[in-house]
Amino acid sequence: MHIPDGFLDVKTWGTLAVVSAGAIGLAAKAAAKDAEEGNIPTMGVVAAFIFAAQMLNFPIAGGTSGHFLGGVFAALLLGPARGLLTMGLILIVQALLFADGGVTALGANIFNMGVIGAVGGYLLFRALWRLFPDRSPWLPAFIAGWASVVLAAAACALELGFSGTVPLGVVLPAMVGIHALIGLGEGAITAGALALVARVRPEVVRVVEVRG
């Protein structure tokens, strides 16, 4: 889902660069208001886990594969603002040091996997868990993880279509279809990893804030 350089036209990557920069700025401001001891080390650990997990690909169908995105996982552990900042940091490092995603497409990738993936997924989780307040958070976490991948893939397809890189009627169903399968792995990893962390270090799981 990492968009390389040259796949988006100037108006698309330029607009998304501005939008993502604004979102990062707002997230940094929100995180600064909620400064707590231990936040930075926790962000580093979560970033390292997601970075490593993204290196592992799992087969889907027809020779395709997917990997963990981690946006919802980061937001549920850290809160949406720090989740977005963590995803932004990961994507910047991947683009600059590993050529995984283009520099000009960095704003688009942060928008897709950070704004939609982390913040959007977190908001969906909140909505789902509020609908079923007497149930555990693991099913909403699974659904939010799955949906974050599908929605991010749809956004990526729209960006490619609007840029004229691939016909929208071709890229949208293809991206959404394959990422609907990839999202199952995302949902399972998100719910499973969150459950493990909640058991071992419950104090770092920000999901409890949803009840407030």
pLDDT at 1: 77
Residue 198's pLDDT is what? 75
Query: Per this entry, what is the length of the chain?
Result: 212
Residues 3-37: pLDDT tens digits? Answer: 999 999 999 999 999 999 999 999 999 988 876 65
Q: Which residue has the higher pLDDT, 13 or 139?
A: 13
Q: Over 90: is that where the pLDDT of 113 sits?
A: yes
How does residue 40 score in pLDDT terms, banded at 50, 70 and 90? confident
Share of residues in the chain with pLDDT > 90 (%): 58
Average of per-residue pLDDT across 189-204: 80
Contact 44, 9 (CB under 8 A): no
Report yes or no: 22 and 28 within 8 Å, Cβ to Cβ.
no
Question: In this structure, which topology does domain 10-211 adopt according to CATH?
Answer: Arp2/3 complex 21 kDa subunit ARPC3 (1.10.1760)
Its pTM stands at 0.89
- The more confident residue out of 1 and 119 is 119
* Spatial CB neighbours of 7, under 8 Å, sequence gap ≥ 6: 102, 105, 160, 163, 165
Q: How many CA atoms does the CB half-sphere of 164 hold within 13 Å? A: 3
Give the residue extent of every domain in the chain.
Answer: 10-211
CA 91 – CA 51 distance, rounded (Å): 9
Q: What is the reported pLDDT for 33?
A: 81
Q: What is the pLDDT of residue 89?
A: 94
